[in-house]
Amino acid sequence: MSRRLVIAPLLAGLFLAAADLAAAQDGFAAFAEGKKLVADGKDARAEFQEALRSFEKRDADSLEKTALAQNLGNAAFLAGDLPRAILAFRYGLFFDRNHPLLRDNLAYVRSQVRYAAGNHHGRPESDHWPAWLPRLEATWYIVTGVISYCLFWVALTGFALRPTLWRAVAPVAGCAVACGAVYGCYLLRAQAANDLDVPPVIVRLDDVPLHTGNGPSYPLHAELPRLARGMEARRLGRRGAWLQIQFATGEIGWVEERNVLSWEDLQPQRNQVME
């Protein structure tokens, strides 16, 4: 009986791993076929859509989340699904806020959104990362902070034993680097918390009405009555089938939930995002 209890989970794990690997192989094969069709000047959206479906079947724990988000975003964009591409890249940046490739790809797909000419309403969030602070992963900030903190005390001890000008500079520099690392960790933590507290939503379609209340009987928003496909906002609340959203430029309104994408629409990642 005990052997069965051990063997059964192992067999189930092997089966799931094999299915996960097969989904990945199917996704990469469809993606490669799509690239070949593009090179030949043919329509490859069907192949990229197949790659997108295969990548969405992947278990996020078996593949690094940022790499999975990159695959999802690329496949979605090439399949013509601009909103899902934006959401996928933002999903990857949730786990690695300073990933350079994800940031560049997100900036590019954002440039494809058709905003109203001469109108700043509904534009995406600006990047407020300090220019003086290097863009690193949280792990590197922690390592840098710990090392700098230790060097600070070593330098301070040396200055106390033999005070000279250059020995005074070393502890100040170590303290500055340590403080910068702490601040970098704080920014990453604050940005991740913001994504969880007010999660992003992406408009699915063109010409989506933005109402002032949770129903079609409410008037349209005065400054932003219609939304374009790919526009980004944050979810403030829910009432029935309607979501209250806010744009980075300050506009607040209500849309039907079916007209926007949210974290829950990424499969199977949705369960990992809220952990």
* Angle at 241 (CA atoms; ends 268, 113), nearest 5 degrees: 65
The dihedral formed by the CA atoms of 161, 167, 173 and 175, expressed in degrees to the nearest 10: 10
Q: Establish if 211 belongs to a structural domain.
A: yes
Q: Establish if 126 belongs to a structural domain.
A: no
168, 159 Cβ separation under 8 angstroms = yes
SS3 string of 5-17?
HHHHHHHHHHHHH
Same structural domain for residues 24 and 68?
A: yes
Same structural domain for residues 66 and 165?
A: no
Which CATH number goes with the domain that contains 215?
2.30.30.40
244, 252 Cβ separation under 8 angstroms = yes
Same structural domain for residues 8 and 99?
A: yes
pLDDT tens per residue, range 27-52:
445 555 555 555 555 555 565 555 55
Q: Establish if 260 belongs to a structural domain.
A: yes
CA dist 78 to 30, 56, 260, Å?
Answer: 12, 15, 20
pTM over 0.85: no
Q: Establish if 124 belongs to a structural domain.
A: no
Same structural domain for residues 262 and 173?
A: no
Q: Which domain holds residue 205?
A: 198-273
**Total count of domains within the chain:** 3
Q: Establish if 225 belongs to a structural domain.
A: yes
What's the first-to-final CA gap in the chain, in angstroms? 34
List beta partners, residue 122.
none
Which CATH number goes with the domain that contains 79?
1.25.40.10
For the ranges 40-49, 97-106, 250-259, the lowest mean pLDDT is seen at 40-49
| Residue 159 DSSP class | H
- What pLDDT is attached to residue 237? 94
Phi and psi, residue 247, nearest 5°: -90, 160
- Domain's final residue, options 90, 110, 130: 110
pLDDT tens per residue, range 130-146:
999 999 888 899 999 89
The dihedral formed by the CA atoms of 208, 209, 210 and 213, expressed in degrees to the nearest 10: -130
Same structural domain for residues 190 and 105?
A: no
- Strand order, beta sheet including 252-256: 252-256, 242-246, 232-239, 200-203, 260-261
pLDDT tens per residue, range 49-79:
555 555 555 544 434 678 888 888 888 888 8
Same structural domain for residues 186 and 173?
A: yes
Same structural domain for residues 87 and 149?
A: no
For the ranges 33-47, 111-125, 157-171, the lowest mean pLDDT is seen at 33-47
Q: Establish if 115 belongs to a structural domain.
A: no
